[in-house]
Structure 1
Amino acid sequence: MNLKFAVFLLTLSVVLGQNNWSVKYYRTQICALKGSTVEIQCTYTTRSHNYYEKIWYTQLNVQKPVDLTTDGDYTNRVSNSCISKTCTLTLTNLKESDSAVYKFSLMRNAVFPRYSNERGVTLSVTDLKVIRQADRIYSSHANMNCLSSCPLSVDISYIWYRNGEKISNRQSSYSAYSNLEDSVSCALRGYEDFPSPPVCFEGQSCNRVTYNNRSICAFKGSSVDISCTYNSYEENVESKFWFSHKHSQEPVDLSEDSQYAGRFQVFETEEGRSTLRISDLRETDSTEYRFKFKTRHFEWRSSLPGTTLTVTDLDISVRVFPYLNLQCVTTCHQLDGSSYVWFKNGQKVDGENSYFYSYTYDYKNSYSCAVKGFENSPSLSVCFNGQSCNIVNYNHRRICALKGSSVDISCTYNSYEAQIESRFWFTAEHSHQWQNPSEPEDLHRNAQFSGRVQVRELLGRSTLTISDLRETDSAEYRFKFKTRGFEWRSSLPGTTLTVTALQVHVTRILTRRQFYTVAELNCHSICIPTGQVSYVWFKNGEKIIFETSSSYTHHFNPEDNIACAMRGYEDYHSPLVHAPQTSSVSASPSGDIVEGSSVKLTCQSDANPAANYIWYKDNQILLQGPEGFFHFTSISSEDKGIYHCKAENQFGQINSSDLFIDVQYAPKNLTVSVSPSNEVMEGSTVTLTCSSDSNPAANYTWYKENEVPPKASGQIFTITNIRPEHSGNYYCKAQNRRGHRNSKSNLTVMARSVKSAVAGSITVIFLAVIFLCAFLLIRKKRSLKQISEPRERPDNIAQLNVGSEYENSSAAVQREPAAQEDELFYSIVRFSKNQEDPLYSNISLAQPSKHWREEEEDEEGVDYTNVAVKSASATPRLRCQEAAEDPSAVYGTVKKKEHLNKV
């Protein structure tokens, strides 16, 4: 509904004159609502019969007046109608940015107005607002009023929204229970696309979404940002996403829409503000975009409009003004302030970047312009006077056609000279190749197009027809003509042809079970056919007779495959849609894998739609996503294991075979052990063992320090019948084809004499026996003394001196005065050195072992020194009683240790 809704605040006419010129505005102030339509009218008088152009412009560009009908910001929203000398400017779909002073002028060139004045018509464009008023009766209620700075008619009907959902109320006010969670908005009926911003019943923390722009115009191939601010009454937002109004029945996240794959990005520059960026825009992207969020207890499902995006070709044109001036006109205001490129006879003109271009009077030349950065979308070329100049204009800059079909590529051309010597169509791998000195090749002579091209000529119009299209025919096609004095060698682009096959897209999954899936499919192509098109569907190679639309819903088993085609082109059906059928994992590089290297695992799957992949190591999930590879930047030994992947799409899944990853590395963690681990006796056997962590298994070599040739090879090194010359430091070397390593610590082997060992053992036994006998004798004496003198207690401490004399194998024991009853005595024992047995003679313990030293400490400082063995027996036996009576017994002098004296 295109309602005219405006309030005319001042209806006085204004008459202004200058040099017999005059203009009268019927209304000088107009207030209108955003989205409505307004008419601004005037009449003019003039006595001149010269040609003047009648234009409307705004005070914003009064220094360089621009006809509003050519202003990109007003494209498709403005018209200028002049009947007799009354002119009416009509503006539709008003924006707040349209607020300005509008003026009428007669112009004789594009730069200076012939007639202008300081006054005009002031237009104010305003938006609706919701104002809250507290209910005086019920404190829990709120009255919400829909207001505008423009006075509104009493018979206007309203529409109210609560949390974005339409409610049944047509009044200018709305009274309801004041809920802190809810937001409210209003609109005029017939102008639902221009509602007021939503406001909260209380505070600012209610649920709401506000879009920054209601409509955006953008050019094909460019990028666009669509933004909104949002708020949730609950702190935690579980999910949020943008969706297209194409899927309004069930919103689908754009990340799941294959049409936008790789072309969109969502980011939040600040909290509560979401921006959708779509790049490489296509005309099929033209639709309404909305934002949705969900919390634990609330879901924003708004019927309020979002942002409408319009994507068009760069609709640019050249307008010819009197006095040799050209103007480049665009369709969308997004290009305001851009630089422009001008072409003369198809060749770029250097130094020109303004949307105005002044040219030299020349009937032979044609002119074209383009926005800088969009040179592939120039305007049509124009002649200064009619169409008699040198000119070529293509009917279409881009054409998309289905594989197997036919296409017509046309252009109109003209030469300033009457006679054209040659003309033909051509294509090249690169757009600039034909400008090389070598002549471009006529398509009739190109073997690739043999029997498939035809050219028709009719009154300055040439049409190239290509049949049985192939995807390799996708290219840019140009036309060339040549006269006696001129050759069209344009740097302007020709017509770009894109040949594509149909594709089956999964629109949505309705049901998914283990053995079947119910899905809605769509037969899609980036080429949108015109007119009524009938489709053919195939399931497992069989034609489905009853399906002729572009959509198909059915039960699909994992083994099924689906395809579609256009009726009449059944031989050029789409690729088959099916569940993953094959999956194998491969590793790169394919040879040995060395620790620290980069390794890439690839999972290849034959699936349509493309599969998602899940990676496993030893049946544990590692990674999942759309990428069919797993990358080790620096693989380690811990990555060794069995890998496999699972490929799955909407119709099924399949597991790959297992791939064992073996990581090779040089020996590490080298250890050496010895058995036995205590001192090694002469004549015994010792075993040295070397081990390491390595892949492949290491070879071992044994070395002795300061000796060049290796001592042995193998993991175990055994030395039998060890001798003193075997003493030294030993180490091992572990080596495989990835490297080698030596043991860090050396092993010291000391071969000790057997005789010394035996002698040492006997010495220990003798000492133990002697000490035991001395202890028993002392206790016996004390017992006898206590019996004979039970009450006697010596006043001083007696000392016992034990001396030994060595003569004719006899000894005498001399006793000192009796010792105190509880006194403890220690002795120094010396053994005869006149022994005939060489094995047990001259044996002494110069430095007691640690074990014996510890016993000395336990015995409170007993001093053991100078021990000599007289017995010829290998294992002598001593009895305590015999120690005092046997003539061959060991005698000694027992002396009290000085530091134990107490008196």
Structure 2
Amino acid sequence: MRLKMSVFPPVSLNISLVSLGCCDVGDTGLVLTSQETSFSHSHSPTEMRGAAVSLTAAASGFVVLLLTVPVVRGYNGWGVTYTSTKICALKGSTVEMNCTYRFPSRINSVSTKVEETFWFTKASNNIYADLRTDPDYSDRVEYRCKNNDCTLRITDLRESDSAEYKFRFITNQPGGSFTGSPGVTLSVTGLQVQLSSPGVRTYDRSAELMCRSNCRLPDHTSYIWYKNQKEILRRKLNSLNNFELRNHYSCAVQGHEDFPSSSLLVQGQVNWGVTYAPAQICAFRGSTVEMNCTYRFPSRINSVSTKVEETFWFTKLQDKEPVDLRTDSEYAGRLAYSRGKNNDCTLRITDLRASDSAEYKFRFKTNLPGGSFTGSPGVTLSVTDPQLQVRVRRSTVNPYSTWTELTCHSNCQPSHHLSYTWYKNENSVEGGEEKYFHLHTSGPGDKYHCAIGGDVPVRSPPVYAPEFPAVSVSPSGEIVEGSPVTLNCSSNASPAANYTWYKEDANPGLPSLQKSLSFGSIKSSDSGRYYCRAENELGWMSAPTVIVVKYAPKLLSMSATPSGEIVEGSSVNLTCSSDANPAANYTWYKGNQTLLQGPEGFYHFTSISSEDRGFYRCKAENQFGQINSSSLLVDVQYAPKLVSVSASPSGEIMEGSSVNLTCSSDANPAANYTWYKGNQTLLQGPEGFYHFTSISSEDRGFYRCKAENQFGQINSSSLLVDVEYAPRLVSVSASPSGDIVEGSSVNLTCSSDANPAANYTWYKGGGDSPQASGQTFAITGIRAELGGNYYCEARNRRGRRNNTLHLNVVADFPEAWKSAVIGTITVVVLAIILLSAFLLIKEKITSKQSSEPVQRIVYSEKCLHSQSEEQDDPDYTNIHFLKNQTDPVCSNIGLAGPCRRDEEEDDDSVEYTVVKFNSSAPRARSQEIQEDPATLYSTIKTSF
């Protein structure tokens, strides 16, 4: 059930709070800060509800909040705020203590993370005992922590739970631990039934029984009253008026009936009574004890004065009558009574025995009839051995001032003062005669105990700091990764030691405050040196142990040395490493080829070569398993070599085709290439290609390339680029070159530019039958009928061309005939000249009538065509032009050969032999007749 209580009545508060914040640096420093705040305000119950806390009260308990002013404990951004600083709770109830904490979000660019939070009441040498590990709170403590808020819940409260509770959190920052101090003070108490008046009179109705607690209970609390353990009343008041003498009364808070108060026996008879002080006594065997009481009675009854006639103590009855202790032989010589002036009586017993343990009652008799009274219940005496023990408590004032308090304690506390003696290592300590003894220093092995004085002093067992711990590992043999492992630690110490485990080179403190540190599934990272620290309030001692975890290889890595450029010929080391226990064996591979096996993870190249370039990997294995590395490229750099050149297409290259030249080499890094034709530089660049979009015969030649990088260069051999093309520039000649006299011999020669070399075939006139083959056609004993046109055809696999030669065969005439012929020719030439002049004049006259002159060329009857018609250009020989004639006339022109077109020719163009003019006459209308520089004309000789 959750109760919300406003616990303050209207009151004017004037509260001065001093907040102390505790921030420690690791376990060595403590920083104290103080903040003082004053409050002065009048609060009504309604206003104070805001200050009340929500507490959980179990069905078996009850909690009262004494002070609910939130107090902040802080320092430089670190702090703890407790909802309340003091809480009072009833025994058996459940209590919740709440706090919020804060810390800097970042320190030196490192984000702050909370790694551990806990509550504690005990701290020794900066060692804080988490309540969850304290056996006194076993199964009664619960933490509820979320979003910088942490609540401590304790159930089934005991009076021994009364203490100051503090909250502590630990972060990942160096020294980033903080304790909120002072903390929350918890007081646990029970209910008590008390009599409002010391003397009870049956006629005095003002006397009442009160149900009280050290905790102030809320006004609306309901109470239950019991008489002789039976419920008699429920009411909202904590008092009971109607009660009867000689009955036991107890009370409880409604809803928490399981935790009633102890019973009170109400006794008295018309103002008769006995009061014992104390009612319970514990004494040591052999010691002396005194029991005191006071008694009362009416001074007069029925006008008769009351006189006490007999007083005594007793423990036994005989025939229902008390037996005076002085008559009991068991107390002979050990018993004495003493009476005071104020109706008191003291019983003194010496040399106490265990059999003396009993309930002792006092009885007095008066002179009145029936005027005897026994104080009941009496005094309970317990006689026991001292059972001394030394209790140790350490107090830390600041990091530089600590002290230890030893208390000589017994489960039996005598009512009188005892004489104590303190011993250090069997030697009495000067000044140690009190129950308490303070230590400022204590060395290893020092032992302390206390004793109660007497003829035979009774000693306590010694207390001492922990001895050197004994550490063991289970299992004790080989530890395999993934198996459960437990570290055990024990040390002789009094009081018993607390244990903390540390790992070397790790964060201080492992999550274990027990003798054992367990690993459910140990990892390789758990290998290392561990220390067990045993500590109590008198000191500490630490002992190491080493854990070695056996595991399969992992974290495999490969590297090459040098790590940068690897140049051919240099020394190179490959290294393979892994985390394994026992150490791994290594196997090296290049691709799928096994290279080397052994315990050393190295592979060495004394002088690395380009053939060593490739991907390498290694395998690490031991008896627990194996692992393969990723591949490592060993990139060997070297100058170009194995340079080669090639042409594409690789076979015959035809003029006009697209051709690629390729230069390649083996080089790392890749080479740059330079192309040459002969000694002429053509192209440079990273690509080893040279391209001809349309190759020509002029591109024919020898090509080579150079490959180079920063490590060197190499030249290729020469590559002949042989461009094939059809014959061209076909020429024919005769030797001798003039007129051929009948009966003589003549050699006809044909030549051309062709690749591959041309084959030649000779034809006569317009015949289709070859007359001869070969470049030279020899004719001997020539006759007149052999004269005429001869043409030569040049042919290869790329095409063919031809050209024509006119062979003029003349008879062997006398000189007289020759002169006549010459004269005749002269006359004809002069006639032609005159005719040409006439035509020129006429043309000038005609040109005025027509803007387009008419081109007229007169051919022989064998080939008479207009120049404007589309046709193959004919081969002309023995062409005669009239001098000074603007419009030449082709009259009397003899064709060198038949005007026919060879349908088998690949080229429509006809090449002409060179035309020689014997006259320097100007050429009219040159814009009409253009010369092709690629056209060759045969030699024409004219005789004038």
Q: Higher strand share goes to which structure?
A: 2
TM tier relative to shorter chain:
0.3 to 0.5
TM-score by length of 1: 0.35
Structure number with larger C-alpha Rg: 2
